Chains A and B, each alone.
Chain A
Amino acid sequence: MTTLWDTTGGAVVRALVAERRTGGAVTSGNALTLVVVVDEADVGEAEEAATVAASKHPMRTLMVIRRQVDAPVPRLDAEVSLGGRLGPGEAVVMRMYGRLALHAESVTLPLLAPDAPVVTWWHGAPPDRIAYDPLGVFADRRITDVCRAADRVAALNQRAVDYAAGDTDLSWTRITGWRAALAAAYDGAHDTALSATVSGDDADPSALLLAGWLSSRLSCYVPVVKTPGQAIESVTLGFSRGASITALQDGARLVLRRDNTPDSIAPFPDRSLGELLAEELRRLDADEIYADALGGVCGVPGLADRPPNRIHIWNDPAAAAS
């Protein structure tokens, strides 16, 4: 591990090359570069998640921590490690002070693994518009988490307004287990589903996205019926011949209830942030199904047809504040 205080981007690149050489990993491959944008207070949590993801994907992790944009003198501190505390891959943790924080791409661009896809993940509340953050503009995939925003429903709607192909959100990743269980239950039904209901928290982005997904797939309105308790309590599918299937969460188990068949019970564990991130990194192309679900629940049509590229919009928080 190399720690560099008050350094330059060039020195960080040289330190990474030196680490690779001494680590004997000159030929090791990187399937992707993950750029993590995180606040100082959450560094521990983000590092833990990135470490889990790095153990499943050969990748280079670049953590960008923007600090004190109003500091008078710009400054860069960096920590370069290879096969160290941040998993088996290469990792650079960078703290940027002063105006440099607004030009983080000048440090990260030369550090991207050559010709490998770039994924940017905002650990905290997503930027209002991704085009405001240059670290999101050069990324092929952009991962946000609207659950970290103060107003989660507004943040979800903003994701639809701001959507470009290649965007995704962890509130969508959280419902993969639900979607897989519902699709498998549907397989056994041998019938066509005509209606669906989600019971849960009608202000929870995951519950809303699940309803959005069902409505885009079944071409019908799917309500989120408010119930006290978990974000998603249960989902009911109604079929054309009158049968219905209900999937309900009971702690770490998922119970599948059908007519004339005994209940089927499957483990349904909560997944850690690292596991969610690892799932997100498994695919590096645009997720059209997410676009349909997001568009469905937010009432914004044609999301899947949006172009994947954004152009950086200069947005100075200091100017906005004054």
Chain B
Amino acid sequence: MTEATSAVQMEPEPSTPVAAQHRMHPAQPTSPDNLLRDPRDRRLPRTPEPCALVVFGVTGDLARKKLLPAIYDLANRGLLPPDFVLLGFARRDWGDGDFESLAKKSAKEHARTAWNEAVWRRLCGNIKFVPGGFDDDAAFDTLATTLDELRSTHGIQGNAAFYLSIPPSLFPIVLHQMERTGMASNAHSGGWRRVVVEKPFGHDLTSALELNGLVDRVFTAQDVFRIDHYLGKETVQNIMALRFANQLFEPVWNSNFVDSVQITMAEDVGIGGRAAFYDATGAARDVLQNHLLQLLALTAMEEPVEFSPEAIRTEKIKVLRAISLPNDKAAYAVRGQYDQGWLAGERAVAYRAEDGISGDSKTETYAAVRLGIETRRWAGVPFYMRTGKRLPRRVTEIGVLFKKAPHLPFSRTDTEELGHNQLVIRVQPDEGVTLKFGSKVPGTSMEVRDVAMDFLYGEAFTEASPEAYERLILDVLIGDATLFPRNDEVEASWRVIDPLEQFWDGQQPHLYRAGEWGPMEADEMLARDGRTWRRP
């Protein structure tokens, strides 16, 4: 009898699903396995194969503030392969040396890790520059020959990633040039060729389809990496660890227990030097379409069958397709625009008074919307999304608010200060997780008040989180697409945004003072449902 019982209690042998077995052999069966590498050997960093990174628009803001510093940081952490070339392309009458000094200046100014002259000297020997305009056939021919020459002079073996750090209007011409010269072809180069595209991925569904069609034709769909830098953030990746590595949270992660979800991305800055771009885009297209919907997808998705790019993207696309818009858009889709005000002790001008913005602009700098997800897990749970500029502080967070206990044995006065239990994932700043729940106030009478239990990345972990761009550039060079949205995710997101934009078209956004948490109408939107926004 005892034997039988113990046999029943024995844990079943965990079996490896078929899908996970495929993962052992990555997509490109090019070369024999590296015997020196072992997944158990976590002291050895993941390093890419020999390769070149070609940056178009290398004199732009993004390249100077993010890309070049990230490449230095990667080199400093020893994560670049021994044979690595950084190739800049821009319309400048420059030699390698001019580009090198620009790269050094921006790396020194913006790098995360400490400055190490030896690392730089090593890197700068492998920095090249090709001058030329995007309509200049000769310049692209030079670029193609340069890449071919680097194969023998710098041992890059035909591998190259192209980073399009340029306005989307220039994509077609650059892509056609790459197609013409055969630069984009894996077969022609004898190695891999990948392309990195920055947001915006189009400005509506039609333009996104057009862009995706073009990029996916010139390269192949699996060689296209769309950067949403939010997905490179450590806390965002932690959403999956939190949900799928723990027993504690997943059982309550559904409409039986969750009252509502609030996803906020607030910025304290204005539009900076992006007036023309921003005025044509607005908050919904700039942030809601990509960052916020990706955060929503990671929060709401089902468990992927394995932790692989394909499986994760499959679950994300299911959620994105299940998103429903409010029927009463006038009440549940609010647009705002900042007026003049005070922020952090300084006077801030109104959006319409910013340089390069017309006095009657109808572009929104704030958007809040209530979305639903029509699945068994989430039906009936509102997802409140908001984003805005010139809000009191820069903060991004996901708040999961749980339902109140169905019955409280305490008297009403004892629990007056008890709110919803909450799980808050702080994406930035103060990366971490907070759990809020009720606790007895010390003293003789029974009184329950909300308290917070905090997990702070900086306190619990040993390694400083890398910059999102560091992580993402490394993933591109390694060929790991887990953290990059696929073309159909982009298209599904536009299917959510397009109807909102159509509804808002021609309407006047509500004004809010700079330094406030958005327009009153956004507060009323939650009040209508008997809820309030969390103050992040």
Q: How far is the CB of B107 from chain A (nearest CB, A)?
A: 15
What residues of chain B lie closer than 8 Å to A56, measured between beta carbons?
Answer: 462-463
Q: What 0/1 readout, one digit per residue, does chain B (11-28) give for beta carbons within 8 Å of chain A?
A: 000000000000000000
Q: Contact string, B450-468, partner A, CB cutoff 8 A, digits 1/0?
A: 0000111011111100000
Closest 3 CB pairs of A and B: A190-B31, A267-B118, A29-B459
CB-CB under 8 A from A287, the residues of chain B are 43
Q: Is there contact, CB below 8 Å, between A266 and B122?
A: yes
Does A188 lie within 8 Å of B43, measured CB to CB? no
Choose, from B150-158, B251-259, B288-296, B503-511, the stretch at the interface.
Answer: B150-158
Chain B residues engaging chain A, CB cutoff 8 angstroms:
30-32, 34-38, 40-45, 47-50, 78, 81-83, 116, 118-119, 121-122, 125, 152-155, 157, 454-456, 458-463
Q: Which residues of B contact A218 (CB under 8 A)?
A: 35-36
Q: In the complex, what's the smallest C-beta–C-beta distance from A119 to chain B, in angstroms?
A: 12
Give chain A's interface residues, CB within 8 Å of chain B.
27-29, 31, 56-58, 176-177, 179-193, 214, 217-218, 252-253, 256, 258, 260-262, 264-267, 269, 278-279, 281-283, 287-289
A186 and B36 in contact, given A31-B462, A264-B82, A267-B116 (Cβ under 8 angstroms): yes
Give 21 A-B contacts (CB < 8 Å), ordered by A residue.
A27-B454, A28-B459, A29-B456, A31-B460, A31-B461, A57-B462, A58-B459, A179-B36, A180-B45, A180-B47, A182-B36, A184-B47, A188-B155, A261-B83, A262-B155, A264-B82, A265-B122, A267-B118, A267-B119, A278-B462, A279-B43
CA distance A188 to B157 in the complex (A): 8
Known: A188-B83, A190-B32. A180 touches B460 (CB 8 A): no
Q: A191-B32, A267-B121 are in contact. List 17 more A-B contacts (CB 8 A).
A: A29-B459, A29-B460, A31-B461, A58-B459, A58-B462, A176-B43, A179-B41, A179-B43, A181-B82, A188-B155, A189-B31, A253-B118, A262-B155, A265-B125, A267-B116, A281-B462, A289-B38
The one of A192, A214, A269, A289 in contact with B32, judged by C-beta atoms closer than 8 angstroms, is A192
Question: Nearest Cβ distance between residue A30 and chain B, in whole angstroms?
Answer: 9
Say which residue of A179, A261, A281 sits within 8 Å of B44 (CB atoms): A179
State in angstroms the CA–CA spacing of A101 and B471 once bound together: 48
Q: How far is the CB of B124 from chain A (nearest CB, A)?
A: 12
Residues from chain B with Cβ under 8 Å of A260 in the complex: 152
Q: Once the chains are docked, how many angstroms separate the CA of A256 from the CA of B82?
A: 8
Contact residues in B for A192 (Cβ distance below 8 Å) = 32, 35
A186 and B155 alpha carbons, distance in the complex (Å) = 13
CB distance from B377 to the nearest CB of A (A): 32
A58 touches B460 (CB 8 A): yes
Residue in chain B with minimal CB distance to A245: B82
Please, which residues of chain A bring their CB within 8 A of the CB of B38?
Answer: 217, 289
Contact of B31 among A185, A191, A252, A289 (CB under 8 A): A191
The reply to whether A266 and B462 contact each other, CB–CB distance below 8 Å, is: no
Q: Closest Cβ of chain B: how far from A58's Cβ, in Å?
A: 5
Q: Which residues of chain A have C-beta atoms less than 8 A from B455's C-beta?
A: 29
Instruction: Name the residue among B36, B119, B154 with the largest chain A CB count within 10 angstroms.
Output: B36
Rounded to whole angstroms, the CA-CA distance of A27 and B453 in the bound complex is: 9
| Chain B residue, CB-CB nearest to A192 | B32
Identify the closest chain B residue to A181 (Cβ).
B82
Give bound CA distance, A269 to B77, whole Å.
Answer: 12
Complex formed: what's the CA distance from A179 to B36 in Å? 8
Closest Cβ of chain A: how far from B160's Cβ, in Å?
A: 15
> Whole-angstrom distance from the CB of A306 to the nearest CB of chain B?
16
**Residues of chain A with a CB closer than 8 A to B116's CB:** 267
User: Which single residue of chain B is at the shortest CB-CB distance from A219?
Assistant: B35
- List the A side residues contacting B153 at CB < 8 Å: 262
A262 touching B154, Cβ below 8 Å:
yes
Q: Which residues of B contact A261 (CB under 8 A)?
A: 83, 152, 155
Cα(A247)–Cα(B30), bound, Å: 24
CA distance A58 to B83 in the complex (A): 36
A188 touches B44 (CB 8 A): no
A266 to B38, CA, bound (A): 23
A282: nearest residue on chain B (CB-CB)?
A: B462
Q: Which residues of A lie under 8 Å from residue B456 when comparing CB positions?
A: 29
Report B-chain residues with C-beta under 8 Å of the C-beta of A180.
Answer: 43-45, 47, 78
* A288: chain B residues within 8 A (beta carbon): 40
Q: Which A residues are CB-close (under 8 A) to B463? A: 56, 282
Residue in B32, B78, B82, B125 whose CB lies within 8 Å of A188:
B82
A176 to B42, CA, bound (A): 10
Which chain A residue shows the least CB distance to B37?
A183
Closest-CB distance, A187 to chain B (whole angstroms): 5
Are B82 and A183 in contact, with the CB atoms below 8 A?
A: no
Q: Which of A58, A217, A256 contacts B36 (CB 8 A)?
A: A217
Residue of A nearest to B51 (CB): A188
> CB-CB < 8 A to B50: which residues of A?
187-188
Please determine whether A269 and B118 come into contact, CB atoms closer than 8 angstroms.
yes
Q: How far is the CA of A262 from the CA of B156 in the complex (A)?
A: 11
Minimum CB–CB distance from A210 to chain B (whole Å) comes to: 11
- Complex: A56 Cα to B235 Cα, angstroms: 19
| Complex: chain B residue closest to A264, CB-CB | B82
A189 to B153, CA, bound (A): 16
Rounded to whole Å, the gap between the CB of A294 and the closest CB of chain B is: 14
Q: How far, in whole Å, are A176 and B460 apart by their CA atoms in the complex?
A: 24
C-alpha gap A28/B454 in the complex (Å): 10
* Residues of the A chain whose Cβ atoms lie less than 8 Å from the Cβ of B459: 28-29, 31, 58
- A31-B462, A265-B122 in contact; A183/B36 too (CB < 8 A)? yes
